[in-house]
Structure 1
Amino acid sequence: MSLDDLFARSGPSIKGNSMGNLVSHQNITSPLNQILYGPPGTGKTYHTIEAAVKAAEPDEYADLGIEPKLGANEEQRRLLTEMYRTLSDAGRIRFVTFHQSYGYEEFVEGLKANSEDGEISYDVEKGIFRQICDEAAKHTTEKAASKVHNFELCWQAFVEQLAEQDSLEITMSQTSFHVVDFNAKRIFFEKSNGKKDHTLSIKTLKDIFEGSREYTSGLGVYYNPLVRYLKGLVATEQQPATKRQNYVLIIDEINRGNISKIFGELITLIEPSKRKGADEELELQLSLSRPDDKLSAPDKFSVPDNLYLIGTMNTADRSLAMMDTALRRRFDFVEMMPRADLFSVYHIKWQEQQINLQSLLESLNKRIEVLYDREHTLGHAFLFPAYNAAKAGKHELAFTHLKQAFKNKIIPLLEEYFYEDWNKIRLVLGDSLKIGDNESLRLLEVQKESYTELFGGEHGLELYEDCKTTYQMKPFDCKDSIWDKVEAYIGIYSAKSVKGEVVEG
């Protein structure tokens, strides 16, 4: 489905000509290189979809009328997701994840071994970055409708002719040459003087045919007549007009890759001022891309100015300060921090009490920030299933989602952050505040082992205390689990008033 079809199906309520939308069109701009960074669960993936659509189709994005402060509503979010899928299917949005073993060969270009008739050959295989750069370069300017020759059709006609004859004579300005055979990569020909074993590259022939390369010297005296011969075999086709289009490459977990290893010499080319068409544009000869025939000029590579790079970075994996300096200079950074205020309207009402998710998340993150740092706080995405269920009035389901969030997301993250330092985990969960009647609501069991009882009075251990204190998380799935009680969650942020948040009515 095209974007026009998508908007046509959605009706005039979304795409309109209101003054508000007309004004918003003027403000829809996206940086060419940006990184969304923040702790886990802060909506980086969620916002990447919006950022990608905004960069690829700024006018269509503006027509959605999304308020920057409020964000997308459910209908706008649905349309954003559909637009994202449509653009992805069209190849205008691509996605890649960096990791420690990811390299230049996968991202830009690498050598791929092929076997033909028992002979090994190596071809240059383009990586995702090279692919999307090449595609974006075709749509940097608007082109009017025109009649063009289709290389595949012309080549097929040429192959059929050669199959019926021993050779095909190609006329030059003063002489001629004969094409006698071809394989997957090369064309074999004989000169008019009878000399054999001469070859032309099919790839170079296609580039000259389609106008992406000029070849006036050396083997150009053979390529250009062959191009004219091919174009004479099949009539031209009508090529529709094309408009400038933006392309987007999303790089997930950009901080996990070795930037120098992945980008190589291209790190400079992604700068806005060095892009193709900019005042300081740069072109480089790629390390593996060499011409098939030694007499032709080498291909030059540049990054087009209609390609947008959007990275995501989890600050719990690596601090922003530890990022590659060359990368930091070339990207705009957008911080994505936990938004507890998103839970301000609805509470979970269960067991005749209510759980304030905003206060719960704020309390957890304040303690984490003191005991660790703000880059390892907990994202609001972990609690959204519970909040959305409460918003829909499904409070039993909301409570179940909350329990699952602690079991599968929050507690494992705390264990990772504090390297199983259970005393700090106990502090984050507020157990130290649960005293007196509220001690039963503590989420961790405290166990003390006396060294004297274990080893006797002459154990000889040089210790400040005679006992060792250990902590163990109370089980989630046992009968009468503390995690099944509303008071346990209220006690995390309000231990002194656990019994006070009673639902009225």
Structure 2
Amino acid sequence: MSRFCGNKNTAPILQAAQQWQEVSLLNGQSLFGFGDIWNSHTLDELVTYFVDNLNYGEGNFVQKLETQLASARPESKILCAEIMWAMLLAPSNIKPSKKRENINHILAWAGVELPENQALLGDEPLSGIGSGGTAYNNLRWKELVYAIRLFKALFSLSPDERGKLLQNGQDFAQWLETIPDNGKRQFRHMLLYLLFPDGFERIFGQGDRKKVLKSFSGLDKQEINALKASEMDEALATIRAEQVESFNTEQLDWYVPPLKAMWQDTSKSKEGTEGHSIYDTLMTFLEQAHTESLRTQDYPRSHAGLTMRISFGAGNQAHVPWIGLLSAGQTPTKGIYPVYLYYRADSLLVLAKGVSATNPPLITWETDEESQTVEQYFQTTLHKSAIRYGESYIHQVYDLSEALDKDQIDADLDELIDEYLSIVGGLPIDVKEPEPSYQSDTQTASAAPMSVDSLMSDVFIGKQDIKDILALLHNKKNIVLQGPPGVGKSFVAKKLAYALMGEKAPQRVEMVQFHQSYAYEDFVQGYRPSDSGFELKNGLFHQFCSKAAKDPNNTYVFVIDEINRGNLSKIFGELMLLIEADKRGEEWQAPLTYSKDLGERFHVPENVHLIGLMNTADRSLAMVDYALRRRFAFVDLKPEFKSEGFTRFMQERGAEQAMIATITSRMNSLNDRIAKDSANLGPGFCIGHSFFCAASDSGLYDNAWYRQIVNFEIAPLIREYWFDDPGTAQSLIDELLA
């Protein structure tokens, strides 16, 4: 019997459905006692005011529905509320309180309300039978259109015809095929189960219906997709009969063992996640997202054979921490991948079909008119833009004000991974889990040595120049790497940090980017909003110094990108004194702006070094504060097209010598022209070598690759340099492309 749902008590829900069928569907009376409202005339009004008057403008579903029904009779609004009650009867992923709120909200438009003890609005009948999924909530308007059309067609029949149809589930399912959009709507499956629980399954999501068929029917994906909804019903009924015979019991449900494991494929290898489940890892991730820790080393390296990547931010805490699962050949910057996105400020966890934003992926997710991007979800549901990752597609959304269901979490992810693997092709990669590390944060993990010689293999600076820079960083403690765009300032900064440490230890390097809105409160200390008002929180540099102070035997490096974009005196405050090389240590500790008393003091540890990065070609920036210039040593980085390192790098990438010569000669010629234009430009505006250092998508470093870089990366920069002389700009671009 299909009505078995494991430990869930479905009796109150099914009894409510039977009462609705008797009172409303057969006799046309209001379920809530408001008279004769279930009839063609009232349904015609809902078609006129809602179905034929869809609102694609601003506002959420309920707001727009209120506007659409504003001119309708009270009877039509009450009927809409009762249809909504029926639509919300089956989903278990919506709280009963939220269901009551939706129904009462619509009733209020008609100027009526229900008594608080109304049995049909109690917690038990509204507890739900199975998850409706995110699509059911996000596309509620489509489900309502379908429901109104369905009931309009049903009440176009005579009472005898309607009664006969509601006595036979198979006949009713066949009749539903005449309703537009029948094969896509979840309410269709919910309605059949509520009215005929012994003949239809409580599988409401189309994806789950197809997965069961794929696991048991022997049909391939194309054959399953070609089935009508009623044909899927018949196939599922046949499969159930076979399983009842096999297990010798009718107490079977697709979301309860033993059937659950037979189609959700929980036996597949998932090395790297404890107990073959993502749940515990996800809980740890959500908990850490509310701390200041950016550490990811203790997380599993894989799940379901896919590489697991986790980010809480780089230097700064990310607004949207994420967990990505990647197949071979896919990366977060270029590819597609299942990803959990935690929109912390909105208390939403999104399981998404991730799409790289940095570079367009070579393959794409399969989408249709029902698919919704993260941006579309935020706009329609929260009435604002998604702060990040808006291009990715929604698979599931979890409201974290409610407890997460472990089985549902695993089932949703399994479904998405199966879809992902069918797109990327092949089997999951074999990822070996590394030996666990039991070192604390302050212990130095085994790190790759980073000598001056190894550094030279990665950057194109002369050996003596590197030694001089390291000596400056060691003695002065603070340096600024300044240069034109494309000289690799951030890349060189990380390498210098590792060389200063003598090892590659990324856990002792942090990076932040200054901007016009960046403040002392972000960098050092300040009051921030909290659940209870405002509380004093330490900024990123304060946290970094505290971490370094606990580990005095190791070197720590803090990198500040775009250091000249911020108001430096405002950001550093009293740190302008404390960062000086001879003002380090506890003997120079001083109270901060927000210190409660003179006893609360702060110092910059001796093992902390700062590297600032500055783009000399940014016309919008003011001169660097002279007080800061006295505390930092300034190092010029220049384009290295003439260096042996650049030539060797391009050769190792596979570029022909003729192409290397073309790049070198043409870029040197362009930079000479820029450097000699002392009136408007100068050496600080030359164009760097890193424009040509990124890997080619095709693996070819040919003329097409070269022209693409010139046309889309360098030419816009040239036009900006000579914005008042477009003829010269175009002439220089033509010389590069000759």
State the TM-score, normalizing by the size of structure 2: 0.34
Larger strand proportion of the pair: 1
